[in-house]
Structure formats: C-alpha cells, structure tokens
Amino acid sequence: MVTDRTKLPVLGVDPQFRFPGVERRMLTNGVRLWSVDHRHTSLFTLLLLIPSGSAADPLARPGLAALTADLLDEGSGDRSGIEFHEALGRIGGHFRTEVTSDATLLSVTALARHANEAIALLVEVVTRPLFATSEFTRVRDLRLHRLTQLRQVPAVVAERAYLETLYGAHPYGHLAIGTDTSLRALTTEDVAAFHAEHYAPSRWTLIAVGGGEGAEMRGLADQLLDSVPVSPSADAAPPSPHGPPAPPPPRDRLVFIPRVGAVQSEIWIGHLGATRRTVDYHALLLMNMVLGGQFVSRLNLNLREDKGYTYGTRTVFDCRLGRGPFTFQASVQTSATADAIRQVVREISDIRDKRPVTPAEVAMGCAALTRGFPRNFETAGQIAVAVAKLALFDLPPNYFSEFVRRVAAVDVAEVTRVASVYLKPEKLVAVVVGSRAEVLASLSNLGFGEPVQH
C-alpha cells in the first residue's frame, strides 16, 4: 500500500491517564510517609520534603538553608562524610539535595534490593548530622569559591540581579547560594539552629517510590518508626501552604551589567507572577504555552525561528507558595539586544489585547499539555517529585488525575482574561548582561527609562 502523503495521519484516541495511587500513612513519631507502588524498575527512590527552602533564610543571612543541606553528608552519626559516601557507593546509591525557594528536597536512589540501607542512610544524615567545624569551614569555602566562579556565568549574574530588582529585601529576593558577605558571617551554630528549627520530623513528608508491595512498605514504616526520633517540636504546627506576602514595587526597571567581550546579551524580563494555589493556575499554564512556554510559542518562533537572534527563549510562571516571578529569559546575539527586548515587550503586550490568543493556539497548547501529560510520570524519580508537589502545595489527592480535565476545560476567553490580569507590560523589569560598548547606548529608548548600571 502506498503511503498517502497528501495529509498527516489523524491522531488516535489516547488512553486515559491514571496517576499511580499514593498510600498515605501518618506515623506515631509525626512523620508523614507517602508511598507509591512502582514496580517498573529495580530502583528504589526515597525523597524527603522539608517545607523550608531559601525563603526561610534570615534576611541578613542568605545561603543558610542551602549550606545546611550541603553539610548533611559531611559527617553524620558515627560516620565521616567519606564513610557515608562509601556506604552509598556499595548500594549503587545517589544522594541528591535541592534547595528551592520554598523547600529542601533530599533524596537517595539506589538498587531496590538495598532499600533498607538507603532508608538508613537518608535518615542518618537528616537526623544525626555532625556539623563539625572543620567540615563547615571547608564546605563554606567551597561555596565561596563557587560564588566567585559564578561571576563569569551570564545567566546566573542576570538571575541574581533580576531577583534583587524584582523582590528587593524579600524572602524571594536572593539566590539559594547566598552572598559572599553572608557566607563569611555564618557559623556552625547558625547551621545547627536552622537544622533544629526546620528539619524536625514533624515537618517531614517522606516519599517512597519503588517496587514494594504493601507488606514491604509496612516494614519500611516500622524501620522509620524505629530510627526517627520523636522531635521535641513534634507538636509544632504542620507545614503551611502559605508563602510570604508580595514585595513592594521595584525601584529600578532596567538594570545593565557589563560583561567584557560578551558575544551575546543575557536578557531576563518579567514581573511578579502568581502563587501555586491560584484558581487560575491551569489557564496561566495554557496562556504561557502560547506566549513562550514551548518551542512553537510566539516568542520562540519570533526570536529564534523568524529572526535567528538566539538558540532559544522561554517564559515561565514560577508559581510558588508566595507570588513567584513571571520571567522571560534568553541569550541573544549582541547586535540584536535592543530589538529582542522590544519584541518581548510587544509580544507580552499584544497577547493581552491587540493579538489575543486564537482558538488554534489554545487548542495546540492544550493538546501539548494534556496529551503529553503521561510522559511526566515514567520514572521513580519523576513520580516522587510529583508527589512532593502534592505535599508542598497541599494539592488535592486527585490533582494529577484531574489535571487533563482541568486544562481541557479552559476556553479561549479564559486564557485572554488571565493574559490581561497577569501580564502587566508597564510593570516589567529587565536585566541585561552584555557588552557595554555595543549594547548600553541602545537601551535608553525601550520604555524602561534610563538603564541603571551595576
């Protein structure tokens, strides 16, 4: 049979997606243990969610949450950090830490036949870290060196200035790694105090994903009951799904940071976005798909596919417990800097009124989000992170199973409405990291006022 090449094959009906069941237990020591029976792999993933991240840093001490997490595996219980990593190596394990603004995520992934040892190792570093002065100084110094190296990474230079411009002295106004001044001032006492306050087992949600049957998961629960002490603050308030209040309006609108010899300009543009629990979340996701959230979005097609200014662009609503940023980001060739900024402002403005989303764009964005949804839940690690979001943002248990229906229910009018409510061209701030000689003079007439130089 000859292939019909006059038209693309029509799409078949997709199987209905069902998020795997999450079994929730509340242990008597206050630990929430959530498990998912995922037998598709011989790996076991244990993820611990601590609902405190860089936003919990004292305002004058940015970097404390991340430094604390970084020190957990540098000596714990009767083991040195090296001995911990040797034990981890024997079970084919990986230990990862991630500090976001709202949370600290700690995980061990290992071969499933070593699940008990994986649990023991994670519990040990979290409940019995030593925070020895020698290790503290060494790791703190490594973080200081990292800060120095990051001065040459345009995206990080831009992100730091962007967050400072947008949020100022606000829990979301700094990078998790902190600042040179702050890291130099921190002490082991600060770290121990942060750990005592934020890592109490009553604040844990432990997420286990693996091939365990019910009985094995009960065994896991018993092991956790035996090894995790009831903390003094076990009766402390459970984690709250509320974030910090919004900051006052920014003082500067356009910040320029010179980079000698830069062949591209790193550009970050945006303003305050939304909280994760906004009722408009699904409509915002869809609107962002059209604007800049996928390859075929307006901004990427304009700046990359039409003009060839850049390798790629993106926009994102980083929805957090509090109002996270709405951000456009791209690295563009130096000569195109001013025009790229003009195009971004125009696209953000036009999608609100002059060129509102079309039914075809909404249908495309919706299909990409819904039909492609199952592939986000293939691996144990992906499932664990998804479950952690349920816990952190206090989303309903059926959240993922309802996702497709919720997105499909958003119509064109709704997308246009959230575009006009959540996008505010007059409130945009911009940060540019690039060549002073070639770029600075071109930034004065973009509607942002005179650039402020850092």
Partner 1 sequence: MDVSYEKRTLDNGLDVIVHEDHGCPIVAVNIWYHVGSKNERPGRTGFAHLFEHLMFQGSEHHDAVYFHPLQEAGGALNGSTNADRTNYWEVVPPGAVERALWMESDRMGYLLPALTAEKFRTQRDVVLNERRENYENRPYGLASMALVAAHYPATHPYHWPTIGAPADLRAASLDDVREFFTTYYHPANASLVLAGDIVVSDALRLAEHYFDEIPAGPAIAPVVPPPVQAMDGHPPLVLEDRVEFPRLYLSWPSPALHAPGDAELDLLADILGGGASSRLHRALVHDRSIATDVSVGQGSRELAGLFTIVATVAPGHTLTELDTVISVEVDRIAVDGPTDGELERARARVESDFVQRQQTVGGFGGKSDQLNAYNVFVGTPGYFVSDFDRYSRADRNAIKAAATSYLMPKRRIALSVVPVGSATVALAGSTCVNAS
Beta carbon of residue 338, minimum distance to partner 1 (angstroms, whole number): 16
Secondary structure E strands in 56-158 = 94-99, 104-111
CB within 8 Å of 433: residues ≥ 6 apart: 154, 157, 158, 161, 257, 258, 259, 262, 265, 266
Beta carbon of residue 342, minimum distance to partner 1 (angstroms, whole number): 18
Other residues' Cβ atoms within 10 Å of the Cβ of residue 349: 17
Beta carbon of residue 262, minimum distance to partner 1 (angstroms, whole number): 6
By beta-carbon proximity to partner 1, the closer residue of 228 and 332 is 332
By beta-carbon proximity to partner 1, the closer residue of 4 and 426 is 4
By beta-carbon proximity to partner 1, the closer residue of 223 and 294 is 294
**Which pair of structure tokens corresponds to residue 441?**
């003079």
CB within 8 Å of 335: residues ≥ 6 apart: 438
Beta carbon of residue 120, minimum distance to partner 1 (angstroms, whole number): 16
CA distances (Å), origin 196, targets 136, 192, 233, 260, 447: 16, 6, 9, 44, 48
By beta-carbon proximity to partner 1, the closer residue of 8 and 215 is 8
Beta carbon of residue 178, minimum distance to partner 1 (angstroms, whole number): 17
By beta-carbon proximity to partner 1, the closer residue of 176 and 380 is 380
Rounded Cα distance, 197 and 194, in Å: 5
Beta carbon of residue 141, minimum distance to partner 1 (angstroms, whole number): 7
45: Cα separation from own chain's centroid: 19
Beta carbon of residue 92, minimum distance to partner 1 (angstroms, whole number): 3
**Which pair of structure tokens corresponds to residue 336?**
């195109």
Secondary structure E strands in 86-243 = 94-99, 104-111, 205-210
Q: Coil, helix or strand for 168?
A: coil
By beta-carbon proximity to partner 1, the closer residue of 158 and 319 is 158
**Structural contact between residues 33 and 51, judged by C-beta atoms closer than 8 angstroms:** no
By beta-carbon proximity to partner 1, the closer residue of 305 and 353 is 305
Rounded Cα distance, 174 and 147, in Å: 13
